[in-house]
Chains A and B, each alone.
Chain A
Amino acid sequence: MPRPSEPSRPTRRQAIGVTAGTLTALALASSAHAAPLSTRPASDAAHDAPEAFDEVFQGRRIQGLPGAGHMHHGGGYSVRIDGQELHVMRNADGTWISVVNHYETFATPRAVARAAVVELQGAALVPLV
């Protein structure tokens, strides 16, 4: 299998831009229990991050990469579909969800990426707002 070219990873600034809407909504006023992101303990997910993957599934390129996810999620795992980031999250029991399948859990980031491909029916992800 030909090795795909290095996927374009988001810069820190892009990652922050992606979540600007979220942060604006959340940071409008102070909150007693809102811990600064930088002081959060490493999540359990960080100790056993799943391995990277890169494959074509039903005509879409899906990729998973540890250490590149949204900063505010602690899990630090990035999933992409045709180069566009799919927002994923790890549950306390180790299962995964994505913004496309948010109420249904999957065993691995690859399974959640494949489920998103099925759900998208060819549609492109849009940048997160």
Chain B
Amino acid sequence: MAVRKNQADLTAAEKRRLIDALLQLKRDGRYDTFVRTHNAFIMSDTDTGDRVGHRSPSFLPWHRRFLIEFEQALQSVDASVTVPYWDWTVDRTPAASLWAADFLGGTGRSRDGQVMDGPFAFEAANWPVNVRVDGRTYLRRALGAAVAQLPTRAEVDGVLAMATYDMAPWNSASDGFRNHLEGWRGVNLHNRVHVWVGGQMATGASPNDPVFWMHHAFVDKLWSQWQARHPRSPYLPAAGTRDVVDLHDTMRPWNNVTPADMLDHTRYYTYDTAA
């Protein structure tokens, strides 16, 4: 069984193997297919129309499935690799080891936002940004520039205390746990982290930055923590909801997996700490 670990606890060898697997997926083209899929959903999920990957109840099971697929791709290169999670309530500054040159590299330079160190820097020639919204082909970041602070543990706890999974109108205007975790409403958790990182992470093509996977692995872990705190709170809505993925509806693009299939992550992986 795969174990997803806190990125701060990875050994040097574990970091190296993860980086090597990421670079291999990039070389063989599989990495960019994940970026392309994500951007397609970002552009098509709307508050007033069909919505699957974002701004809807299936935000959490959709990204769980998306990360499982990505993790399986990594494991086809190196079976020992799993997706680590980034607990941004703890590792909350650009000085965190996450951003060191032996892992993801640091923030971008001021002139053009270009990441200049680490394995994903443009100069290393291993990480061309091919699926993009503008002409720039280098990885960019501006850590902490657009928003000063990452969410705190207290802010996370406030969201985890919300007992209702999601509420009508099942979109970016909803009250409830899902939309507060996604960040369109309230203290803003998930969305704010994208903005804090900046660069491609702030765009629809956010998986261009490998930190995308570690951010979403932590969002996924928060979902499991919420389930542990609210064992009698189900995924909602249950059935018959226009434009929204109900509990037993299949999710695009896979069409063979439902939110109900994604509720128990221990069928696929466990975490290094209990929920």
Residues of A within 8 A of B (CB): 19, 21-22, 25-26, 28-35, 37, 40-41, 43-45, 70, 72-75, 87, 89-93, 99-105, 119-121, 123-126, 128-129
Contacts and interface: CB of A to CB of B under 8 A. Distances in A.
B11 interface: no
B250 A22 contact: no
Contacts of A26: 40, 44, 252-253
B100 interface: no
Interface stretch (B19-27, B116-124, B132-140): B132-140
Contact of B173 (A28, A29, A93, A119): A93
Nearest to A104: B195
B135 A126 contact: yes
Contact residue range for chain B?
35 or more
If over half of A's interface residues share one DSSP class (helix, strand or loop), that class is named, otherwise mixed; here it is loop
A104 B244 contact: no
Nearest to A122: B112
B29 interface: no
Interface string B146-169: 110000000000000000000001
Nearest to B248: A32
Nearest to B112: A121
Contacts of A105: 184
Nearest to B194: A103
A93 B173 CA distance: 7
B243 A35 contact: yes
Contacts of B250: 31-32
B202 A103 contact: yes
Given A35-B50, A121-B112, 7 more contacts: A31-B250, A33-B246, A72-B49, A91-B184, A92-B171, A101-B202, A129-B36
A105 B205 CA distance: 17
Contact of B242 (A33, A101, A126): A33
Interface string B27-70: 00000000011011111101111100001000000000000000
Contact of A100 (B134, B171, B191): B134
Instruction: Give the one of A41, A75, A101, A124 with max B CB within 10 A.
Output: A101
A22 B44 CA distance: 7
A101 B203 contact: yes
Contacts of A19: 43-44
Interface string B189-204: 0111011000000111
